[in-house]
Amino acid sequence: MQTVKLNNGIEMPVLGYGVFQVSPEECERCVLDAIGAGYRLIDTAQAYYNEEGVGNAVARCGVSRDELFLTTKVWITNAGEEKATHSIDESLRKLRTDYIDLLLIHQPFSDYPGTWRAMEKAVKAGKVRAIGLSNFYPDRFVDMAECAEIKPAVNQLKTNVFSQQWDAEAEMKPYDTRIMAWAPLAQGDPDLLTNPILTALAERYNKTVQQVALRYLVQRGIIAIPKSTHIERMKQNLDVFDFTLTPEDMESIRPLDKPADFRWSHRNPELVKFLLNYDKQFNPNNK
């Protein structure tokens, strides 16, 4: 598996398996399938409510822990130094591991500076190897990066051929912070499969459009975490290391970048309210 080096020297797989919207009931089976297919980076979160499934799979998979790279995220309801500290220990318990490879603040709301302090302490205690952010736009990212003792290793953002994050990448570069792409396959956007530029490239390289889209991110040094519950699709998403897009190919994809949809912007007050109440609505333990 190809890796990238984070700003603290840790090597991280450039392609992994994400479990967002994988049900707790399916998660263990899906992660076992993904590890069996060759994935070594597994991305979960407290707010996915499936950390235990990931942990069970890690315990059963037969791959040594030091060959796996586990990512999870602290949710808004666990924000603040004290609550985040307890939640990190709870994530360790659910993941059945002594350490988390990469821990992120999931959303830029509530007391996220306090959460960051808890995460820095977890690094110093050996509970976490690297820390970073998720969904922090350039202004909030710079605010955190300038004030943090440990600089963010990663910022996980919606990144794909239609949401290319060039502005964010420019602001992150001085801190040597990597983009980690959620929704790397554009969350099933039908335009992905019908775009003439992407379909022409897929035909030229005898690959699928999805493989071309993932290869575009990999060649930019962006970490991608596609999700599927089907093992054949998992294998297909991983099969992107036997071809290379030319500089001209890469430039042909760049104009596909679209303006962000404000409905899903973290600057939209309605989305902020939705996220602040997310745990009350979707946490199965609340029902």
> Which positions are catalytic?
48
- Rounded-to-integer distance, Cα 106 and Cα 104, Å: 6
Rounded CA-CA distance 96/89 in Å is 10
Neighbours of 184 (CB within 10 A): 27
Report the C-alpha gap between 179 and 181 in whole angstroms.
6
Contact present, 178 and 189 (Cβ < 8 Å):
no
How far is 228 from 238, CA to CA, in rounded Å? 11
Helix 196-205 vs helix 209-219: crossing angle, to nearest 10: 90
The answer to whether 230 is annotated as binding is no
Written as six digits, the tokens of 194 are 């019908």
Q: And the tokens for 92?
A: 């360790």
**Cβ(14)–Cβ(241) under 8 Å?**
no
Q: At what angle do helices 24-37 and 231-238 cross, to 10 degrees?
A: 40
Binding-site entries for substrate: 106
